[in-house]
Each structure stands twice: as structure tokens, then as C-alpha cells.
Amino acid sequence: MSEIVLENISKTFETKDGTVEALKNVSLTIDKGEIYGVIGMSGAGKSTLVRCINFLEKPDEGKVLIEGKSLDDFSKKELQKQRESIGMIFQHFNLLMQKTVLENVCFPLYIQKVPKKEARKKALELLELVGLVERKNAYPAQLSGGQKQRVAIARALASDPKILLCDEATSALDPQTTSSILDLLKDINDKFGITIVIITHQMSVVRKICDRVAIMEEGTLAETGVVSEVFSHPKTKVAKRLIRQDIDTETEESILATEQIKNGEIIRITFSDNSAFEPVIANLVLTFKEPVNILRASTKNVGGIAKGDMILEFAKDSTNKEEMKKYLKEHDIEIEENVDSSEI
């Protein structure tokens, strides 16, 4: 069931340099209980998109529906109530620096007039959930970046949200801390069934935690799909560029050798789950006794499944190209032909 539906959303801003079209006719659906990634480079419109979901930014055109109800139809009081069911965490944490960790988590409960004793009890439970109950009396300045984000997550959960929006929530963190925060978000999703929308420019975040992904470019929706499918078969140049830039030292080893291109035919191959670690290319060379140039190679963990791809170049004067392609297909290797060298 779709919990969030965006229908033909457009949003413009007036700046000193003129009109900026942040979103241009964007439509997407996010299902209840899934973790949905929205990715794009700086200026793609992804942060504006996430702020439209809770009407922190009201679209100029289009509709935002939460559980089938258009936010446009809500009164100011109803919209405020709706926002209580949509938690949000940010890149820079947005904690109250003069308040303790416990008081930061209690803050949204106090706004909702929850009695102090009840609010503190719930806040302690949430700090236990995020692994910070022992730091309840500390102040934000005494915490690491990862700890601050855990406090922000606990605070966002205080109102029992059905939806959690994460706007570049891991961008200010180191890779190890990012991984632990993503593990925490996945755990929260599994335990409570909260729908999570993650805005990021890091493809490694998407492939680690997201079920589906939307790729944005210059305010438009370039591509959407299941994460494993988008990684295996990117359709747009922006998707291919983002995947190519996805370098995670723990899960990927890349070989770049573009200087060795000799104007032969270039193909992209994608490994299946079963063939990702088989020596298919080595066997190909041994079988046909003909060199194959590996221009780029990588393996990644996408949602717990090994995915691999390579950019190969056949020799310019090869007479076995078609037979070699056939051999690869017979070994469960998918092939994309006519790859442009600019995509490498």
C-alpha cells in the first residue's frame, strides 16, 4: 500500500539571480514500511522534495497525499497534527545545545503537552533504543557526531511517527559511523514498520539500506526502481555516473585503466548472484586464446546480495567477438553492448 504519493509536484524559488525551478513535475509513490532512497548531486532538488512531503515547503503545483489524504485539504491545525506523525532528522543534527540529551529527546513531547514524568520515561526508552541512555545527562557539545545523530533519531521517534524523513542524515559522518547509523535505521524500520525516506548524494547509503530508489537530476525524476535492479541495469547517464562514483573501501575494489583503450568494441557485463565470484573472464581468455581488456571492474554488496559488473574491451581486430559474447551469456552473464567510452 502506498503511504506517500507525490503527484506532478513542481516548486520554484525566486532568488537574486532569478527564478530557480527546484522541482519540475515530479511524481513518485513510497510504500508503507519501506526504506526509500532519493539520490542526486547537489542542486538536484532532493531536499526540496523531502520538505514537500511534510509541507515545510508547499508545492506550487501538484499534490502530496499521505495515506490517501491530500495535505492541501488540511486546515492549519490538522496539518500541524499530521506533522507530528512525520519525524525528520538532518545533516547537522539541530539539537538544542543548552539542553541535555534527555531534555532534547523530551522537547517534542513537552510541545505536545505530555506530562514531564511520562515524557522523561519515554525519552529514556528511546535513548535505550539508540544506545545512549548512559549519556542522558551529557550536553550535545560533549558528544561525537554519531552520538548527536542518535539523539536526533531518538527525538524524531518521540512522537511515534509513521514516517521518518532523513535529509542527508549521514553526510557529516565518517564511513564507520555512517554504517552504524544506517544499521540503527534499518533496525528501527524492522521493529516498528516506520516508512523511512532517505535523501542522500551517497550511492553507498542507498545500496546498503534502501528497498527502492529515485534518482534526481536538475529538479526532475531521472530514474526510479528497485535498488538491485538500478545498480545492475542503470538506464540513465546520471544513474551510471552516481554508481561509478560509489567507492566503498569495504565492499568495492575498482580497476580503472581507460588509458589502455585501443578503440576496440566496449561492452558492460553484469554478474548474477551465482557468478559474481567465478573466474569467468579468465576462463574466457583461456578458451578463446585472445586478450580482453578490463577497463573497469567492481563488486558491491547490494541489500546483502553480491553484485558485480565490468567494462570490457575486445581487441580491435578480434574475430571471436560474437562467440565470446555468446560464451558469457551461456555463463549467466548479462551484456550491454555499444557502451560509450565516456561512461567509463
Residue with more model confidence, 116 or 306 = 116
State mean pLDDT over 206-220: 92
Say yes or no: 63 and 184 in one domain: yes
User: Bridge-partner residues for 2, per DSSP?
Assistant: 31
Sheet-wide strand order for 220-226: 86-90, 163-167, 195-200, 35-39, 212-217, 220-226
Percent of the chain clearing pLDDT 90 (strictly above): 42
Q: What is the dihedral of CA 272, 204, 32, 147, to 10 degrees?
A: 140
**Count of residues making up the chain:** 344
Instruction: Indicate which CATH number applies to the domain containing 76.
Output: 3.40.50.300
Say yes or no: 197 and 314 in one domain: no
Distance CA 87, CA 84 (A): 7
Say yes or no: 231 and 266 in one domain: no
Say yes or no: 232 and 263 in one domain: no
State mean pLDDT over 178-188: 91
Contact 182, 9 (CB under 8 A): no
Say yes or no: 272 and 202 in one domain: no
Residue 214: pLDDT band (50, 70, 90) is: very high
Say yes or no: 66 and 187 in one domain: yes
250 in a structural domain: no
State mean pLDDT over 68-78: 89
pLDDT at 319: 84
DSSP code for 333:
E
pLDDT at 261: 47
Contact 44, 97 (CB under 8 A): no
Percent of the chain clearing pLDDT 70 (strictly above): 88
Residue 163 pLDDT > 80, yes or no? yes
For residue range 246-292, what is the model confidence (pLDDT) as tens digits? 644 344 444 444 444 457 788 888 876 555 556 778 888 888 888 88
Say yes or no: 102 and 200 in one domain: yes
Say yes or no: 150 and 60 in one domain: yes
* Domains contained in the chain, number: 2
| Averaged pLDDT of the chain | 84
Residue 344 pLDDT > 60, yes or no? no
253 in a structural domain: no
Structural domain for 183, as ranges? 2-237
Q: Please say which residue of 237, 266, 281 terminates a domain.
A: 237
Say yes or no: 183 and 90 in one domain: yes
Say yes or no: 211 and 169 in one domain: yes
